[in-house]
Amino acid sequence: MSIKFGTDGWRALVNQDFTDDNVRICAQAVCDYMKSNNISHTGLIIGYDTRASSHNFAKSVAEVAAGNNISVMLCKDPCPTPAVSYNLVLRECGAGVVITASHNSADWNGFKFKPGYGGSASSEIIFNLEKHLHQIEKTNFVHSVSFEKGKSSGLIELIDPKTTYLNRLAELVDLSAIRNSGLNIVIDSMYGAGSGYFSELISGGNNKIKEIRSEFSPTFPGLTQPEPIENNLHPLMNEVIDFNADIGLATDGDADRLGIVDENGNYVSTLISFSLLCQHLIENLSMKGPIIKSVTMTNMINKLAELNKVEVIETPVGFKNLGPVFMEQEGLAAGEESGGYAFQGHIPERDGLLSGLLILDMMIKTQSTISELIEKLTNKVGEHFYIRADIPFEHSKRKEIDNILKNRSFNSISGININNVNEEDGFKFNLQNDSWVLVRFSGTEPLLRLHAESNSQDHVESLIEDIKTNLNL
């Protein structure tokens, strides 16, 4: 098998492709990359999530790094990816690795590589890393020492990234105001690495906090996958109602994504969530800079930006694409449809915990409920309806789909003429009525993703059905 890094690292099924041998090959590639870039002396930080296999895989990475005479800081407990990223920057390490499959199901695991800036690795960095990786795949030559030898030699150090990370969040948001806001808040950690973090941040005042699915349970019981989307958040929705909560906040397997439930137990889409966050930064916090969004993100952002004379820059999906632009342009925020958002003044990486704190901050500063905030936003930018359809496909059918898209015989979708087509990431059809349809292959799973946005539910459904017909799906 050839190991391939996708939209955000390499993911595979445990004990099939994601094996200890392959993880060690990835680790050796990281070490070779660090040596070739003269950063091996700066050290490597390693984190991992709550999956049953993650700790042992993380130890294997540490053993390989120590075998290459690279100092290792291994997190002593599962922790959020943004906590690893922040500590990477704080400790001035040359690189970081997080063993996590993020929102994938429990039978998957993953290998995320973080460059020294703490964000997702750019396409250029991944290309260079994979060159080393493919060379090692040919030779199967990996340097390694035992974990105990690495520890006794001082090359492997166990660290706690939590305190420094929480302290950083406390610098970015007024936690005292949140703690004393008198809000009822339900937290759903989805058995992931963010368990206990929100509670520690916002407890201690006159709030009432309830946390669900926070215990260590590496199989994610009752969840197909720990992804904070509507289908997975019914326990949170119900608990918000039962607890008479003002809001429900959920984080995914490695806590870099956020899901929101309003005071009525309704799921808030990631598109609305990011729009609210951008509105808060611009209008309430008076922050400046362009908004970076993926091609799958809502046009609500464009409308909001236009009203506030803010630039919007669109990139391909994945923080390996958003992050570099976010840094280069000194962005206000960066966001993608999956629920991952980054913010100015912090790491160029998604942070589900900071996202949740900023939403609470917005509620407090505006003295508004989530549903009131959404109503105010909609009054400004209009109603937008969105659908994403994930369609499994046989590999043999990919070429046929590609050919239809490249040689398209259709000039309209659901009766609306196509204005232009953006082929930077898949095929995004921008239509004359400000609707759009995007067709792209997933970078992490064997899925064809169809995205559409329009001004009515009926129309967005017809856009999806029509593009499926055009693609013979």
**CB contact at 8 A, 296 and 336:** yes
- Could you say which architecture CATH assigns to the domain 10-161? 3-Layer(aba) Sandwich (3.40)
Please tell me the predicted confidence (pLDDT) of residue 207.
94
Using the predicted structure, report yes or no on whether residue 444 has a pLDDT greater than 80: no
Per residue in 239-273, pLDDT (tens digit) is: 999 999 999 999 999 999 999 999 999 999 999 99
Residue whose token pair is 């506030």: 308
**Percent of the chain surpassing pLDDT 90:** 86
Global pTM reads: 0.94
What amino acid is encoded at 321 in this protein?
N
| Residues whose CB is less than 8 angstroms from the CB of residue 239 and which lie 6 or more positions away in sequence, other chains included | 186, 188, 210, 212, 245, 248
Spatial distance between the Cα atoms of 8 and 121, rounded to a whole number of angstroms: 8
- Helices 352-366 and 162-172 pack at an angle, to 10 degrees, of 30
The rounded mean pLDDT for the chain is 94
Check if 173-381 and 385-470 are the same fold. Answer: no
- Could you say which architecture CATH assigns to the domain 173-381? 3-Layer(aba) Sandwich (3.40)
> Confidence band (pLDDT; 50, 70, 90) for 437?
very high
Using the predicted structure, report yes or no on whether residue 404 has a pLDDT greater than 80: yes
Per residue in 107-158, pLDDT (tens digit) is: 999 999 999 999 999 889 999 999 999 999 988 899 999 999 999 999 999 9
Mean pLDDT in residue range 188-199: 97
Using the predicted structure, report yes or no on whether residue 27 has a pLDDT greater than 80: yes
How many C-beta atoms surround the C-beta of residue 182 within 10 A? 11
Q: Which fold has domain 385-470?
A: TATA-Binding Protein (3.30.310)
Domain extents in the chain: 10-161, 173-381, 385-470
Please tell me the predicted confidence (pLDDT) of residue 443.
67
Using the predicted structure, report yes or no on whether residue 168 has a pLDDT greater than 90: yes
Please tell me the predicted confidence (pLDDT) of residue 9.
87
- The H or E element spanning position 377 is helix 370-381
**How far is Cα of residue 168 from the mean position of the Cα atoms in its chain?**
19
> Confidence band (pLDDT; 50, 70, 90) for 402?
confident
